[in-house]
Amino acid sequence: MPLILSSLQHNTLTLKLNRPEKANAFNHEMIAELRSALNDAAENDAVRAILLTGEGNTFCAGQDINEMLSAREQNISYLEHLRESYNPLVLKLRQIEKPVVAAINGSVAGAGLGVALACDLRIAAEDTQFTVGFTGIGLMPDSGVSLLLPALIGLGRATEYTFSNLPISAQDALAWGMVNRLVPADALLPTATQITMMMALGPVGAYGASKKAFNRAVLPNLEEILEYEGELQDERRMEEEHRIGVDAFLKKERPNFL
């Protein structure tokens, strides 16, 4: 079963994260398939715009916790993991010279939030919730969240919701500039598809040049920050807080970090 569902219509490539039974949580294979799909899209002149969404009722729950456990047991470096997975994925989303629209359904957290924030536009269902997520398992934000979230909603709000780990409502996300538009859940995919197809009719070369300018003006240190996130995350994986957070998550309990 493909972990990324792909369809091309009217020069618009729709990519769906396809692990609905796991809340579309990323594992190694799904990250690789998404990166491959984006790399192919970058080289395909028939693709003029990209729509990214999640199959089922969730956009993406972030990193698959079971794969994280396996990495911890094997003493795999989180820095090396990020270098091989999320860092190039986030960079590709920012560097691909075609518009990328995220249609965000249900909920999004952790690395899934980083992927959504790296897209050019975000259209969300009215019941969507955004959770930073990392501190709940004793980690710090990665996948570009430490840069992209403050850039969109401000440092104070980003700090509050990182520390509290409380969800951000779709209504607050719209008011604070995290998303561009809210629509009823049943209208999300049709609306986001229409917006993306309209972009595919436009001057895609000019859009790509605009992305390059925005990246230089607002995110000039994205690659450096992604690497630094990995260094900090590698330190966090060795801490007792991470073990406590993961154990509590698996037991569906509130972690006790005291």
pLDDT tens figures, 17-53: 999 999 999 999 999 999 999 999 999 999 999 999 9
Contact 144, 117 (CB under 8 A): yes
What's the CATH architecture for 4-186? Alpha-Beta Complex (3.90)
Measured distance CA(224)–CA(21) in Å, rounded: 34
pLDDT band of residue 62 (cuts 50, 70, 90) is very high
Question: pLDDT, tens digit, for every residue of 164-205?
Answer: 999 999 999 999 999 999 999 999 999 999 999 999 999 999
Residues 6+ apart with CB under 8 A from 57: 20, 105, 106
Q: What is the pLDDT of residue 216?
A: 98
Residue 69 has pLDDT above 80, yes or no: no
Question: pLDDT, tens digit, for every residue of 142-170?
Answer: 999 999 999 999 999 999 999 999 999 99
Q: What is the pLDDT of residue 168?
A: 98
pLDDT band of residue 74 (cuts 50, 70, 90) is confident
pTM above 0.75, yes or no: yes
Which strands sit side by side in the sheet containing 107-109, from one edge to the other? 107-109, 129-131, 168-169
Show the tokens assigned to 252: 């569906």
pLDDT band of residue 128 (cuts 50, 70, 90) is very high
Q: Identify the bridge partners of residue 100 per DSSP, sorted by sequence position.
A: 50
Query: Where are the domains positioned within the chain?
Result: 4-186
Q: What is the pLDDT of residue 90?
A: 98
Q: Which residue has the higher pLDDT, 96 or 248?
A: 96
